[in-house]
């Protein structure tokens, strides 16, 4: 039995719990959250699904949970964004498995700290980028080889505004990382995954403050100092693998890299499609649509398009439609996925857990732990978000210099912890780092409570 602790029992923590209960090899042994209503909801999920189950140990303080580290096999970090890096730094030195929700960091300093500490981590870390596993998106990934060399990737999300959370931390640019990190790290991860390349350039145009009233910024004590989060954006991206293996159409082509376009609108409730991903290659095109959960594959006309003075006839190109609401059309292990899909992510969280359990079992059998989404993947997605905000092209943004780069919500303890990890002499010795972590935590106990959920 894999003993699980859930650190943060808000919306995502509850979604994870709903799936943990569906897998017989998992048990929820610990819950940690300072908000009693979140704890109560998590406990009700446990009792509702398994009435006779032993109640987990409940704590409100992360430091108290750390005292039970040797009774934990797998930690789920589902706390507010700005806490992910400090929590990874504290728990990563222990020999456990960690599933950390995205984003893994919200600022450049946090990214640097993770990079410095990562070589000393003993924990096996997987990042919760569940969009990779949404059935329609995964089917699109499977079909990409059939469209030839990829030249264009377009990702669009038209959706409702951010939902309300405890203390509304997700409306705070410092605590969330702002929208292009908080929300769009999923999409930046997909750009990398689809292209197989790294971003070399980007530029952004954004709207900010359009949802000022909806988010209740006027109710804040110092509203004159509030920087509202991004409400809509276009981000243009350029990718290149810097190799000679990419097929070049011909010597006269002016641009051989892959072009990307991200479009986000957070005030588009009721749109026919909430998410659209379109990948165009030299041989065809594949399109995924949600919540329709369908994928469309097209191939460009070849020999049947003989009269080039007219548009290609319908019979010269093909269309294949895949209905991905049937998991058997996407995943060979569909029968192993829980039939009751909870949450907001088209059952992708259940698939994420299937992969994670398999990776843990491989580790138990003496093999390496190979996560589907590594910490390095998570860091690179955040870096793309930070860079896209640093490259906002707007006169209005120029008047708000503290937006990019974001400094991140900080406290004395979290700053001390980040500075500690960035100290090269400390990072060189794992034992010293672990000991120093605990000294900082002990000195700043009150600041290390998970104070919002």
Question: Residue 405: pLDDT above 50?
Answer: no
Question: Residue 311: pLDDT above 50?
Answer: yes
* Best mean pLDDT range from 52-61, 95-104, 218-227: 95-104
Return the pLDDT at 338: 83
Question: Residue 427: pLDDT above 90?
Answer: no
Return the pLDDT at 441: 52
Return the pLDDT at 414: 72
Return the pLDDT at 243: 55
> Tokens 């728990």 — which residue?
91
Return the pLDDT at 176: 95
Output the six-digit token pair for 339.
């039939």
Asked if 323 contacts 296 with a C-beta cutoff of 8 angstroms, the reply is no
> pTM for this structure?
0.89
Question: Residue 252: pLDDT above 80?
Answer: no
Question: Residue 82: pLDDT above 60?
Answer: yes
H or E element that contains 441: helix 430-443
Calculate what percentage of the chain has a pLDDT beyond 70: 83
H or E element that contains 26: strand 26-32
| 390/147 Cα distance (integer angstroms) | 33
Q: What is the DSSP letter of 28?
A: E
Q: Which of 141-145, 334-338, 353-357 has the lowest mean pLDDT?
A: 334-338
Confidence of residue 322 (pLDDT cuts 50, 70, 90): very high
Q: Looking at per-residue confidence, does 247 or 242 come out higher?
A: 242
Return the pLDDT at 10: 95
Instruction: Give 175-224 as a DSSP string.
Output: HH--HHHHTTHHHHHHHHHHHSSEEEEEEEEEEESTTHHHHTGGGSTTGG
Q: Is 304 helix (H, G, I), strand (E, B) or coil?
A: coil
Q: Looking at per-residue confidence, does 153 or 418 come out higher?
A: 153
Return the pLDDT at 397: 53
Q: Looking at per-residue confidence, does 14 or 411 come out higher?
A: 14
Return the pLDDT at 421: 79
- The model's pLDDT over 270-296, given as tens digits with 9 standing for 90+, comes to 999 999 999 999 999 999 999 999 999
Question: Residue 445: pLDDT above 70?
Answer: no
Given the DSSP bridges, would you call strands 294-299 and 230-240 parallel, antiparallel or unpaired? unpaired
| 331/308 Cα distance (integer angstroms) | 41
Question: Residue 449: pLDDT above 50?
Answer: no
Question: Residue 253: pLDDT above 80?
Answer: no
Residues in contact with 179: Cβ distance below 8 Å, sequence separation at least 6, in sequence order: 229, 230, 231, 233, 264, 266
| β-sheet bridge partners, residue 101 | 128
Return the pLDDT at 401: 43
Question: Residue 348: pLDDT above 80?
Answer: yes
Helical H segments across 288-404, by residue range: 348-364, 375-390, 395-398
Return the pLDDT at 54: 82
Q: Which of 49-53, 115-119, 194-198 has the lowest mean pLDDT?
A: 49-53
Span 56-66, mean pLDDT?
Answer: 96
Q: Which of 2-16, 164-178, 251-265, 269-283 has the lowest mean pLDDT?
A: 251-265
Question: Residue 424: pLDDT above 70?
Answer: no
Q: Which of 38-47, 161-170, 395-404, 417-426 has the lowest mean pLDDT?
A: 395-404
Return the pLDDT at 308: 86
| 385/369 Cα distance (integer angstroms) | 27
Count of other CB atoms within 10 angstroms of residue 201: 12
Question: Residue 425: pLDDT above 50?
Answer: no
Question: Residue 43: pLDDT above 90?
Answer: yes
Confidence of residue 218 (pLDDT cuts 50, 70, 90): confident
Return the pLDDT at 157: 97
Confidence of residue 306 (pLDDT cuts 50, 70, 90): confident
- The model's pLDDT over 148-200, given as tens digits with 9 standing for 90+, comes to 999 999 999 999 999 999 989 999 999 999 999 999 999 999 999 999 999 99
Cα–Cα distance list, 356 to 5, 19, 373, 399, 420 (Å) = 15, 12, 10, 45, 31
């Amino acid at each position: 039995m894999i003993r699980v602790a859930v650190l943060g029992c808000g919306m995502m923590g509850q979604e994870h719990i709903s799936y943990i209960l569906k897998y017989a090899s998992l048990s929820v042994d610990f819950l940690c959250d300072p908000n009693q209503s979140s704890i109560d909801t998590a406990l009700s999920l446990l009792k509702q699904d398994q009435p006779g189950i032993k109640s987990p140990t409940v704590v409100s303080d992360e430091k108290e949970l750390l005292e039970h580290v040797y009774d934990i096999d797998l930690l789920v970090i589902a706390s507010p964004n700005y806490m992910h890096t400090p929590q990874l730094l504290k728990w990563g030195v222990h020999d456990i498995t960690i599933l950390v929700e995205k984003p893994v960091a919200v600022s450049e300093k946090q990214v640097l700290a993770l990079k410095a500490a990562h070589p000393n981590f003993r924990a096996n870390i997987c990042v919760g980028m569940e969009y990779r596993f949404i059935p329609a998106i995964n089917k699109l990934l499977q079909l990409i080889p059939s469209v030839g060399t990829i030249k264009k990737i377009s990702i669009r999300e038209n959706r409702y505004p951010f939902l309300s959370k405890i203390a509304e931390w997700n409306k705070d640019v410092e605590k969330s990382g702002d929208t292009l990190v908080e929300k769009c790290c999923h999409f930046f991860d997909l750009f990398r995954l689809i292209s197989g390349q790294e971003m070399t350039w980007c530029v952004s145009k954004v709207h900010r403050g359009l949802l000022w009233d909806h988010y209740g910024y006027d109710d804040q004590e110092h509203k004159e100092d509030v920087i509202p989060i991004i409400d809509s954006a276009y981000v243009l991206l350029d990718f290149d693998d810097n190799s000679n293996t990419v097929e070049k159409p011909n010597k006269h082509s002016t641009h051989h890299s892959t072009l990307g376009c991200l479009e986000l609108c957070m005030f588009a409730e009721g749109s026919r499609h909430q998410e659209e991903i379109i990948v165009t290659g030299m041989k065809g095109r594949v399109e995924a649509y949600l919540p329709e959960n369908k994928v469309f594959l097209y191939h460009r006309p070849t020999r049947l398009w003989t009269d080039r003075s007219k548009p290609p006839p319908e019979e010269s190109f093909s269309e294949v439609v895949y209905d991905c609401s049937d998991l058997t059309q996407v995943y060979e292990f569909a029968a192993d996925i829980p039939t009751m899909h909870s949450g907001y992510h088209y059952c992708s969280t259940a698939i994420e857990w299937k992969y994670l359990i398999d990776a843990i079992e491989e580790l138990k059998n003496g093999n390496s732990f190979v996560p589907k989404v590594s910490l390095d993947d998570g860091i690179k997605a955040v870096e793309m978000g930070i860079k896209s905000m640093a490259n906002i092209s707007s006169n209005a943004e120029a008047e708000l210099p503290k937006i990019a780069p974001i400094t991140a919500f900080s406290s004395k303890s979290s700053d001390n912890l980040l500075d500690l990890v960035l100290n090269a002499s400390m990072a060189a010795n794992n034992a010293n780092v672990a000991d120093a972590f605990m000294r900082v935590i002990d000195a700043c106990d009150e600041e290390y409570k998970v104070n919002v959920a």
